[in-house]
Structure 1
Amino acid sequence: MTTLTVGVGKQYTTIAAAIAASRDGDVLAVQAGTYTNDFATINTKITIEGVGGMVRLNATQAPPNGKAILTTNTDVTIRDVAFSGAKVADGNGAGIRYQGGNLVVEDCLFENNQNGLLANPSTTGTITIRDSEFAKNGTGDGYTHNLYVGEIAKLSIDNSYFHDAIVGHQIKSRAHETIVTHSRIADGATGTGSYSIDVPNGGKVVIADNVIEQGAKSQNPAIIHFGGEGTAYSGSSISITGNTVVNDLASPSASLLLNATSVQAYVANDSVFGLAANRIAVGPAQVLAITKLAARPVSDLSHPYDGLGMDGVPQPPKSMILPPSLPVPTDLIIRVSEDAWQGDAQFTVAVDGKQIGGIRTAIASHAAGEHNDVVISGLATGQHQVSVTFLNDGWGGSAATDRNLYVDSIAYAGQEKMVAAALLRSGTSTTTVGTNPPAAAHSLTLHLSEDAWQGDAKFNVLVDGKVIGSGTVTASHANGATQDFTFNGLTAVPKTVGVAFLNDGWGGSAATDRNLYVDGITIDGHDLTNDVATILRPETATFNVDPWG
């Protein structure tokens, strides 16, 4: 492996030159900055990564191959690179055109291209996207999208942000397996996107623990579309669990899922705002434990990678981004996987002897290290007996012809137990989780104010290093106002209190600046008036309050 350096005064002044000189296994270390019309086709198995910040590949003319800024034909990993401006005559210009191999995209930004990432069919290929942002891609013709993946083996998306696609879809995937987890997908107030997630050929689909918002100007009333373009792939299935879904489209046809296949979808433990109960799923579906939200959740519009957002404003690091769809500490989270043979493993879940929901289906491969999450909310605090019962064992005489179910872990009240129960025959695995809590007699009050600009200041509060709550400040610091936020039920007197400012904003002057102020702290009636702070950046102010312990 050789490291090739790119940038001013480095081995290569252009990324294209370094790619041309690369061999399998090489790493291209690219100095942060803007590289204009630096186009290349990649035929070597390499890693391209930014050094010292974001590498910005900006196209002001059509790529000479008529495809993309970067075109990949083999195994490539790309980190900390932004792609913008890709336009070609046929309307299918892309930040990246994938043509084969295993592509990994991490901490990247795709904005203002005809397509963000466009993938050709490659039935053995995979695409993995993590910690990345796709914004304002599309030509407005409905055939170009933030992300468009042809028939590949697997598409995996985690902890990423898709928003403001122009008429097209936020995510369109023809992959045989599509997994979207811990991500945010939003049209926003002015966005004109169509489906949030479109999987027109079916396949094995898992959509879990995301925040999904359909905007008021959406081009299609369905949020997720499954099947509908020809016959679905053999073995198709879809699981939609643990998501927070907001519908802002005023249409009686609006729905969370439009299932155009004969496959029964599994929709469970989702929190939904703006949809009637009979519009959760259109088409065959098992719908369980849906929480209807009385108030619209606040949209999180911050950017998921470290660095500058599209507006040039420094953004909070990923560790401070807490999408509201993620399971809260009191949720019970059961992770399962399977060995599939002549069908997927089916199971039920019981808590304290009472079955929760109906028959569930595992589709995550144990051999591949994948898992499905079963999220159960609303349990009373304390100990619980959790039972997982495997229903349909299958055995064809060898390890390759065996259907099994695995309970990989169980988390409750923020504590995860690695269970590692292998159910090789039909039967039940039972685990005890939780403890009887101590008395919760302590309280914490924060006295906060803000400088508001293009929105109010948002924060998390940490006690002894753990997040216990959050809020939005509306009290004006300039007017001398203070707003109290009280957090009850602490099991012990805090030793440290932290206030994490989540959404700093700066427009270039004191009048265009969003700031957060800690004006004091009260613990169990004791006023700590000297514990004050001015937080001007996305960081955490931490106070040592141990003397009150």
Structure 2
Amino acid sequence: MSTLNVGAGQQFKTLASAVAASHDGDVIALQAGTYVNDFAAINTKITIEGVGGLARLTATGNIPNGKAILVTNTDVTIKDIAFSGAAVADGNGAGIRFQGGNLTIDDSLFENNQNGILAGTVPNGTITITDSEFNHNGVGDGRTHNLYVGEIAKLTIDNSYIHDAVVGHEIKSRAHETVITDSRIAEGANGTGSYSIDVPNGGKVLIANNVIEQGAHSQNPAMIHFGGEGGPYAGSSLSVTGNTAVNDLVSPSASLVLNQTSVQAQVSGNHTYGLVSGNVALGSALVSAVTALVARPVSDLSHPYDTGASPAPAKPATPATPATPATPSTPVSTPPAAGDLVLHVSEDAYLGHAQFTVSVDGKQVGGVRTAAASHAAGQHDDVVLSGLASGQHQVSVTFLNDAWGGSSATDRNLYLDSITYAGQEKAVGAALLNSGASKSVTVGGAAATAPAATHSLTLHLSEDAWQGDAQFLVIADGKQIGTGTVTASHAAGAVQDFTFNGLASVPTTVGVAFLNDAWGGSASTDRNLYVNGISVDGHEQAGATATLVQPTTATFHIDPWA
């Protein structure tokens, strides 16, 4: 085993000459800098690593070997290397062409190539990618991608950032096993990519704890595509769990998962924004524990390699705390006054949002209004009408634009959940309105209900702060009831109480979701959230503790007799 040094004033001037002189087990130390049109085919089991920063392999014209900047035919490890400009005459060039063995990529960058990595059929081959970035790869023909893996044994991607593919897919894998974890997969504001993850032949697939963002210009409405190109491999399975999925594409068929096989996908514990509740998974799937976010999360779209230096390993940053969304029907900048009338409405969206009008004592108040809060997620919009005279009033809500696609998942509905007048809430049983129908409720005077019973929930929280404080949202019986930012230091033994009042009943379950995990590569550069206890109406719940080090939700069962 030898170390072969490459760069100005070193033993070798080019990477190609060092590769030609290498033997199994050697390490090629490539000094930081830019190496132009330095191409090589690798037939020895070696490691190539940048020294003193990122070493950049740049192609400026068609590559003579007709394949890639590097062609790997055996076990090769690549670390702290950037690949850019790879092009060949047939339009299928790559930063790396994988043709055999086991390829390991760590702390590396692939950008502006016809393909980032292109792998052919290697039945026993594996590709493992960690802490790396792929962006703006593809020529715009839909057949070239940020990362395209043919039929190999296994593809593993962890703690990486893959974004802005040019028309093609962010990740396309025909591997018999595909594992994608703790990564950011995004199209950004101007991206034109197609599927975020395409596994057209199935296989054993695990997609867990990622942030996946589908852009407004996406070429396909599904983020994850499973099957669809012939029968799936024997023993195929699909598990999609713990991800945060953000959809910016305006499409009635936008979905997190499109399953075109008969294999039942397991889709659980995901957070979603911008998806119709019935569209989390299309095709055969068992969907559970979906948390619909009420406002678009702010995704971490930073580019860790822009400075040319290798970054610390980075867990995907989960979006920051969602801001309170503006109500589409009547935006409110201040809390309703005691005499205001407040309608709480929600919808099932399908091919557009539910629209409605409001009348008081037989007269329409305002124009056509639009609901945007998901009924399935336990959300509601507040429609506030001010200036009503005291006394009894007849309030009517009329649903205008019903739509039905033949199933419960393709049905637009409007719900009147409750009405508050003069500080008193009147439940109406989440009344479901048919198209053109009205729901009328009498409020005020003798018809007003007594104030709703109130209960309180208190969370005892602390944090490990790094580059910002830990942010969370709290869910009671499946309904989001609030958010917050923790400033109490866990290391210092401090605990911060967050109290949420006005609960109509004691919840049976409480969920605490950690929204903005961050990781800088060590215990001292890690943002974490700690649940140190929970009390309901002043009664502490036994065993209600959790440590959240990933963007996950801790769920607790509440004992009302505690």
Q: What TM bracket, shorter-length normalisation? A: 0.5 to 0.7
Secondary structure, aligned partner of 1:62: coil
Separation (CA, whole Å) in 1 of partners of 2:217 and 2:302: 21
Matched, 1:22 2:33: no
What residue number does 1:60 align with? 60
Separation (CA, whole Å) in 1 of partners of 2:491 and 2:144: 54
Secondary structure, aligned partner of 1:115: coil
Whether the aligned pair in 2 keeps the contact of 1:273 and 1:293 (CA below 8 Å) is yes
Cα deviation for residue 316 of structure 1 reads: 6.2
The amino acid across from 2:70 in the alignment is: L
What residue number does 2:119 align with? 119
What residue number does 1:210 align with? 210
* Pair 43,274 (structure 1): closer, same or farther in 2 beyond 3 Å: same
* Pair 114,486 (structure 1): closer, same or farther in 2 beyond 3 Å: closer
Matched, 1:105 2:86: no
- Equivalent residue runs for 1:352-501 within 5 Å: 462=464, 469=470, 487=486
Cα deviation for residue 322 of structure 1 reads: 5.0
Separation (CA, whole Å) in 2 of partners of 1:105 and 1:493: 39
Secondary structure, aligned partner of 1:17: helix
Cα deviation for residue 302 of structure 1 reads: 2.0
Cα deviation for residue 325 of structure 1 reads: 7.7
Separation (CA, whole Å) in 1 of partners of 2:220 and 2:460: 50
Separation (CA, whole Å) in 2 of partners of 1:83 and 1:301: 20
Cα deviation for residue 488 of structure 1 reads: 5.8
Aligned residues: percent identity? Answer: 65
Cα deviation for residue 487 of structure 1 reads: 3.3
Matched, 1:323 2:317: yes
Separation (CA, whole Å) in 2 of partners of 1:281 and 1:303: 30
* Pair 207,51 (structure 1): closer, same or farther in 2 beyond 3 Å: same
What residue number does 1:33 align with? 33
Count how many residue pairs are aligned between Structure 1 and Structure 2.
Answer: 351
Cα deviation for residue 303 of structure 1 reads: 3.3
The amino acid across from 1:469 in the alignment is: A
Query: Which runs of 5 or more residues in structure 1 are unaligned?
Result: 327-438, 444-460, 472-484, 504-549
Secondary structure, aligned partner of 2:17: helix
What residue number does 1:529 align with? none
Matched, 1:278 2:273: no
What residue number does 1:93 align with? 93
* Pair 125,204 (structure 1): closer, same or farther in 2 beyond 3 Å: same
Separation (CA, whole Å) in 1 of partners of 2:62 and 2:182: 34
Cα deviation for residue 64 of structure 1 reads: 1.1
Separation (CA, whole Å) in 2 of partners of 1:206 and 1:100: 24
Whether the aligned pair in 1 keeps the contact of 2:140 and 2:168 (CA below 8 Å) is yes
* Pair 314,56 (structure 1): closer, same or farther in 2 beyond 3 Å: closer
Whether the aligned pair in 2 keeps the contact of 1:105 and 1:130 (CA below 8 Å) is yes
Cα deviation for residue 277 of structure 1 reads: 1.3
Separation (CA, whole Å) in 2 of partners of 1:159 and 1:263: 28
* Pair 8,488 (structure 1): closer, same or farther in 2 beyond 3 Å: closer
Whether the aligned pair in 1 keeps the contact of 2:107 and 2:310 (CA below 8 Å) is no
Whether the aligned pair in 1 keeps the contact of 2:80 and 2:310 (CA below 8 Å) is no
* Pair 162,486 (structure 1): closer, same or farther in 2 beyond 3 Å: closer
Separation (CA, whole Å) in 1 of partners of 2:461 and 2:271: 30
Residues 235-284 of structure 1, C-alpha deviations (whole Å, 9 max, x = no match): 00000000000000000011111100000000000000000111011110
Cα deviation for residue 491 of structure 1 reads: 6.8
What residue number does 2:247 align with? 247
What residue number does 1:178 align with? 178
Separation (CA, whole Å) in 2 of partners of 1:492 and 1:20: 53
Separation (CA, whole Å) in 2 of partners of 1:133 and 1:488: 32
Whether the aligned pair in 2 keeps the contact of 1:303 and 1:315 (CA below 8 Å) is no
Whether the aligned pair in 1 keeps the contact of 2:54 and 2:309 (CA below 8 Å) is no
Query: Which runs of 5 or more residues in structure 2 are unaligned?
Result: 321-457, 473-483, 495-515, 520-562
Separation (CA, whole Å) in 2 of partners of 1:466 and 1:492: 16
Whether the aligned pair in 2 keeps the contact of 1:243 and 1:271 (CA below 8 Å) is yes
Separation (CA, whole Å) in 2 of partners of 1:7 and 1:232: 47
The amino acid across from 2:312 in the alignment is: P
Secondary structure, aligned partner of 1:137: coil
Separation (CA, whole Å) in 1 of partners of 2:238 and 2:85: 35
Residues 287-326 of structure 1, C-alpha deviations (whole Å, 9 max, x = no match): 010111111111101235xxx41xx48786335x552189
The amino acid across from 1:232 in the alignment is: P
Secondary structure, aligned partner of 2:486: strand
The amino acid across from 2:73 in the alignment is: N
Secondary structure, aligned partner of 1:179: strand
Whether the aligned pair in 2 keeps the contact of 1:243 and 1:325 (CA below 8 Å) is no
- Equivalent residue runs for 1:164-313 within 5 Å: 164-304=164-304, 308-309=305-306, 312=307
Separation (CA, whole Å) in 1 of partners of 2:311 and 2:69: 28
What residue number does 1:159 align with? 159
Whether the aligned pair in 2 keeps the contact of 1:187 and 1:215 (CA below 8 Å) is yes
Whether the aligned pair in 2 keeps the contact of 1:442 and 1:493 (CA below 8 Å) is no
Whether the aligned pair in 2 keeps the contact of 1:45 and 1:75 (CA below 8 Å) is yes
* Pair 176,273 (structure 1): closer, same or farther in 2 beyond 3 Å: same
Whether the aligned pair in 1 keeps the contact of 2:129 and 2:158 (CA below 8 Å) is yes
Separation (CA, whole Å) in 2 of partners of 1:56 and 1:27: 17
Secondary structure, aligned partner of 2:201: coil
Whether the aligned pair in 1 keeps the contact of 2:98 and 2:119 (CA below 8 Å) is yes
Whether the aligned pair in 1 keeps the contact of 2:297 and 2:319 (CA below 8 Å) is no
Separation (CA, whole Å) in 1 of partners of 2:490 and 2:147: 46
Cα deviation for residue 493 of structure 1 reads: 5.3
Separation (CA, whole Å) in 1 of partners of 2:44 and 2:308: 36
Output the aligned Cα RMSD: 2.9
The amino acid across from 1:116 in the alignment is: G
Separation (CA, whole Å) in 1 of partners of 2:253 and 2:467: 42
* Pair 41,286 (structure 1): closer, same or farther in 2 beyond 3 Å: same
Residues 158-212 of structure 1, C-alpha deviations (whole Å, 9 max, x = no match): 0001100000000000000000000000000000000000000000000000000
What residue number does 2:429 align with? none
Whether the aligned pair in 1 keeps the contact of 2:124 and 2:152 (CA below 8 Å) is yes
Whether the aligned pair in 1 keeps the contact of 2:469 and 2:487 (CA below 8 Å) is no
State TM-score, norm by structure 2: 0.59
